[in-house]
Amino acid sequence: MSDRTTCWLLGDQLNPDLDVLDDADDVLLIEAHGFADRKPYHAHKLTVVFSAMRHFRDRLREGGHDVTYVRAESFGEGLDEFFAERSAETEGGGDAPDLRLMRPASHGAGDRLRELVAERGGTLELVDNELFWTTPADWRAWAGGEETEIGPGGAAERTYRQENWYRHVRRETGVLMDDGDPVGGEWNYDDANQETPPDEWEPPGRPTFEPDELTRETHAWVRERFDTWGNDSLDGFAWPVTRAEALEALDRFVREGLPAFGRYQDAMVGGEPFLSHSLLSPAINLGLLDPREPVRAVERAYEERGVEPGAYDPDRHGDAGGASTSLDEFGDGDAATGGANDDLAPVPLNAAEGFIRQVIGWREFVRHVYREAMPELADANKLEQKRELPPAYWDGETDMECLSEAVGHVREFGYAHHIERLMVLSNFALVYGVDPGELNEWFHLGFVDAYHWVTTPNVVAMGSFGTDVLSSRPYASSGSYVNRMSDHCADCPYAVSRTTGEGACPFNALYWDFLKENEETLRGTGRMGLMYSHVDGKDDEEWTAIRERAAAVRELAAEGEL
């Protein structure tokens, strides 16, 4: 056994305040490139990952850590270089290094890396990943019993529901709790998060971070080294790549974006990719932010500036704008807290709760469901969907306003917010009949915050209903949902009011055809009774027209002419 312990940190564990660093003699970072050779990732995603790693290396060295930074095609080659360097330092003598690594989030990665180290004569200790709030032991204590398995038909032996987990974590952490009860008396204010903003409303500006020399060098190298997809210019690049930038982005969101976030959380607006969303998921998933930090910051903001759900209307914020208007403009003055917060807009409870639910409710939940249900989860295909992803997902060329907007956001920024992901990008693929695995890969390649543990439960299980492990029904919808939650339909050449015939909204015929095509599996599934009562109300003539329109839509989409 070596008398030195090396802390090996991966590219999504970039936090200088980790406990695992405390007892380490030195730090190892391996910048492995092979994954980006195999598929066309978004240029901004690769720039974010590699730039953040290189900035983190420099930050650790400035903090006094002895850092070995290896650039290699694979982790195996990187370990070869590290072991050779360590052997040279000891002139060929001494024991092989002992490494300590926070368990990676991706399925099987920890065991594979431990084998690679063992093959080279070293040891690798896997410890809990500090960059999640809850541990596998916490989940097992809550879930009890055995892990779930997903059968060949996509049915899970055991299913989990996010709301139950969310309430459990709130109780255990005390977040937004008041003497054992949820603050405000309700656990979930989702019904207060579904408004669309008026035409005159303008969201706060997106936090921007001017790429420094290291980021520019990294981006130039990415463009030269890899075949990428999407916008490869730095003009629209504004993601945090350092911890300092991530903390600044968090502060900006809490001060400026949070007040309007709850009310318009689910809205879609043409020409507005970001609205009041936090845009913190890339920083959190890289480790630049510990998930406790944004949750506690939002909780503090509510304690200091809180009002009842919906009490603050962002459209009535005066000429100065919601981020700088005096609280006196928003009611009876009870919300005013005095001091430095006098010039900040109030934080409605539905805004604070809605954000916190995304982090400790959903992010922690899907991480554990992923652990429980892999490897079968990745290949689950309950509805046996086999169609290829339409070309519009790659080139953004479609007359469908909602799909064009959402794909355009991904192509330009490597980002689209959660409703665009679920109710446009996943929904269209679902009713069109795309293979869940192909859709999952597209999300993984295109989004700056995407990792296998992130996309697989979200896309395969929730978005594609490849399994019922975390949802009792598919999130399928006609064009009526998009029309209710966006302004897209008003500018779309397709008529959302029509289901059949040329010019009818493609979502409509696809939706009803999807229900009919999967009736044997879905009829009787949770909360699908009303939809199938409408299915039963259509006569043969209407079904013929629906199927003809759905077939025409699929043909147009497959040919890139939708």
User: What residues have CB less than 8 Å from 33, skipping those under 6 apart?
Assistant: 71, 72, 73, 225, 226
> CA–CA distance from 30 to each of 5, 53, 148, 243, 282 (Å)?
16, 9, 33, 19, 20
Q: Rounded CA gap, 125 and 115, in Å?
A: 11
Q: What is the pLDDT of residues 177-231, one digit of tens each?
A: 999 999 999 999 988 888 888 888 888 889 889 999 999 999 999 999 999 999 9
Query: What is the overall mean pLDDT for the chain?
Result: 91
Inform me whether the pLDDT recorded for 68 exceeds 50. yes
Predicted confidence at residue 440, as pLDDT, reads 98
Q: What percent of the chain has pLDDT over 90?
A: 79
If you write DSSP's letter for every residue of 204-264 in order, what string do you get?
PPPP-----HHHHHHHHHHHHHS--BS---STT-----SHHHHHHHHHHIIIIIHHHHTTT
| Band (34; pLDDT cuts 50, 70, 90) | very high
Q: What is the pLDDT of residues 159-180, one digit of tens each?
A: 999 999 999 999 999 999 999 9
| Band (462; pLDDT cuts 50, 70, 90) | very high
pTM: 0.92
Predicted confidence at residue 486, as pLDDT, reads 95
Q: HSE on the CB side for 234, CA within 13 Å?
A: 18
> CA–CA distance from 56 to each of 34, 59, 456, 503 (Å)?
21, 5, 27, 52
Predicted confidence at residue 87, as pLDDT, reads 79
Predicted confidence at residue 138, as pLDDT, reads 94
Inform me whether the pLDDT recorded for 337 exceeds 70. no
Predicted confidence at residue 94, as pLDDT, reads 62
Q: Rounded CA gap, 542 and 410, in Å?
A: 36
Inform me whether the pLDDT recorded for 266 exceeds 60. yes
Pull the structure tokens for residue 198.
């008026």
Inform me whether the pLDDT recorded for 335 exceeds 50. no
Pull the structure tokens for residue 425.
């990008």
Q: What is the pLDDT of residues 281-330, one digit of tens each?
A: 999 999 999 999 999 999 999 999 988 888 887 766 544 333 433 333 33
The bridge status of strand 5-9 relative to strand 306-307 is unpaired
| Band (342; pLDDT cuts 50, 70, 90) | low
Inform me whether the pLDDT recorded for 333 exceeds 50. no
Predicted confidence at residue 152, as pLDDT, reads 85
Predicted confidence at residue 42, as pLDDT, reads 97
What's the rounded mean pLDDT across residues 431-447? Answer: 97
What's the rounded mean pLDDT across residues 131-150? Answer: 91
Of 48-52, 327-331, 526-530, the one with minimum mean pLDDT is: 327-331
Distance of CA 210 to the CA centre of its chain: 24
Q: Rounded CA gap, 114 and 165, in Å?
A: 31
- Say if residue 555 is exposed, middle or buried (CB neighbours under 10 Å; 0-12, 13-18, 19+): exposed
Predicted confidence at residue 338, as pLDDT, reads 34
Inform me whether the pLDDT recorded for 85 exceeds 70. yes
Predicted confidence at residue 236, as pLDDT, reads 82
What's the rounded mean pLDDT across residues 59-77? Answer: 96
Of 93-97, 188-192, 277-281, 532-536, the one with minimum mean pLDDT is: 93-97
The bridge status of strand 177-178 relative to strand 181-182 is antiparallel
Cα angle 271, 351, 178; round to 5: 170
| Band (341; pLDDT cuts 50, 70, 90) | low
Predicted confidence at residue 2, as pLDDT, reads 55
| Band (350; pLDDT cuts 50, 70, 90) | very high
Inform me whether the pLDDT recorded for 44 exceeds 80. yes
